Amino acid sequence: MAHEVVLLDFWPSMFGMRVRVALAEKGIKYEYKEEDLRNKSPLLLKMNPIHKKIPVLIHNGKPVCESLIIVQYIDEVWNDKSPLLPSDPDQRAHARFWADFIEQKVYDTAKKIWATKGEEQEAAKKEFIETFKILEEELGEKPFFGGETFGFVDIALITFYSWFYTYETFGNFSIEAECPKIIAWAKRCMQKESVANSLPDQKKIYDFTVWMKKYFGMD
Amino acid sequence: MAEEVLVFGAWGSPFSRRVEMALKLKGIEYKFIEEDLTNKSPSLLKYNPVHKKIPVLVHNGKPVAESLVILEYIDETWKDHPILPKDPYERANARFWAKFIDEKCLSAIFKACWGACWGEEKEHEKAEIEHEKAVKEVSELLQFLENELKEKRYFGGETVGLLDIAANTIGYWLGVFEEASGVELLTREKFPKLCNWANEFVCVTAIKENLPPRDKLIAYFRNRFGAGNASK
């Protein structure tokens, strides 16, 4: 079956990166369209009228929105190679639970680390470390959250790694000192081409954040 | 092997009722354990140490938490009466709207019903403006759902599906919040399809048997959140 795949994305978005990783894992050819979030394209507004957000995957003209929903969709359509979710219902539920945990706990707290100062920033740092310690415990001695192979939960979390330098610099702390196993896991993931090619350089993200703070008067 | 299915829940929670609705639809026997959320049991804390919340499904000793995760687990484990469609695009669509309901609708509805009443007394005019904004937001969100329903009997099509179950907050609890707070949100003039759907939804046996008593629920919310945001 002919597949026409388009991804509406924004290069620093850790949510967009998840979709890039999933597409790369499956070896899917697609057209990447960069969105200017200050000036959203008519296509984006038409394809995601509810949230008006990226990422949006457009498959044969039909849009799929919300990064983890897109990743599951990719896994179900291109089911002939590199499964991203396990086949056992119990393990699938486990993977979905932890992906949901990451969705609930990481983004807002992490944002506060670079976007706020003083007490609010300190509280966010504390919460961030607590969250990653829980994730570290869940990882245990496994090479990946999925076990022996890279999977859904790894995809949900690894994209935040590109923002680690930003969090550490603004927050003045070392994630490796607090959660060494997470860093070891992240470096393991980065050895995969699908991940390394999908994540921007950490310094580039930092420069972008510095620019963004100035532009939006957040300094 | 004898199957053991436990559900840790709370009588008034739409989230734990979702789990029971799905199990009932599939004809699965289970044991329900009512949790006192002010005094959580050691079992609940053992089965959901991360969030310490209900609902939790325990299947042959293995726990599953988060209502939407549990619904997918139920559908994958017990194949009769499927609640998710087979087509990946339709599945993505159902997941998208379930997430929309949980992330956007509930908090907006709460704000519209009880927003200004939380915390200290606010200036009447400011509270009015906030209230109007919240009601407008709920209206926009409900319009999206109205449009998504189209001419279907249920969100799932001919039969109740995952999205209908996830929308139990709209189908039943919303009416309860409206009556408890005196704020009108789901009106027949604006949302005829959604109202029809809600009426159909609460008549389905597996759903009807799992709705907490309306009066008890209204009393609970009035007691907990006050008389509500209705224009005085």
Using the beta-carbon criterion (under 8 Å), do A69 and B64 form an inter-chain contact?
no
| A108 contact residues in B (CB cutoff 8 A) | none
Tell me the per-residue pLDDT of B51-86, one tens digit each, with 9 for 90 and over. 999 999 999 999 999 999 999 999 999 999 999 999
Query: What tokens appear for A89 in the block?
Result: 């219902």
Which of B50, B78, B100, B144 best probes binding to A when mutated, by most A CB atoms within 10 angstroms? B50
Section A144-161 average pLDDT:
97
Residues A17-60 have pLDDT tens digits of 999 999 999 999 999 999 999 999 999 999 999 999 999 999 99
Contact A92, B66 (CB under 8 A): no
Distance CA B216, CA B180 (A): 11
Q: Measured between CB atoms, which of A62, A69, A93 is closest to B69? A: A93
Confidence band, pLDDT 50/70/90 cuts, at residue B126: confident
pLDDT at B123: 66
Residue B230: per-residue pLDDT: 64
- Could A65 and B65 be called an inter-chain contact, meaning their C-beta atoms sit closer than 8 Å? no
What would the two tokens of residue B148 be?
A: 């998504």
> How far is B70 from B6, CA to CA, in rounded Å?
12
For the segment A120-143, what is each residue's pLDDT rounded down to a tens digit? 999 999 999 999 999 999 999 999
- Going through chain A in order, the beta strands assigned E by DSSP cover 5-9, 31-34, 56-59, 62-65
Give yes or no for residue A106 having a pLDDT over 60: yes
The nearest CA of chain B is from the CA of A89 a distance in Å of 6
Size of interface A-B (CB pairs under 8 A): 54
Q: Chain B: residue nearest A97 by CA?
A: B69
DSSP H/E element including B57 = strand B56-59
Q: Which helix (H) or strand (E) holds B106?
A: helix B106-114
Contact B89 A92 (CB under 8 A): no
Q: CA torsion, points B156, B157, B160, B166, in degrees to nearest 10?
A: 30
So what's the pLDDT on residue B116? 53
Q: How far is A214 from chain B (nearest CA, A)?
A: 30
**What is the distance in angstroms between the Cα of A87 and the nearest Cα belonging to chain B?**
10
Contact B93, B150 (CB under 8 A): no
What are the DSSP calls for B174-193, one per residue? Answer: HHHHHHHHT---S-TTT-HH
CB contact under 8 A, B92 and A70: yes
Out of B59, B76, B96, the one facing A69 most closely (by C-beta) is: B96
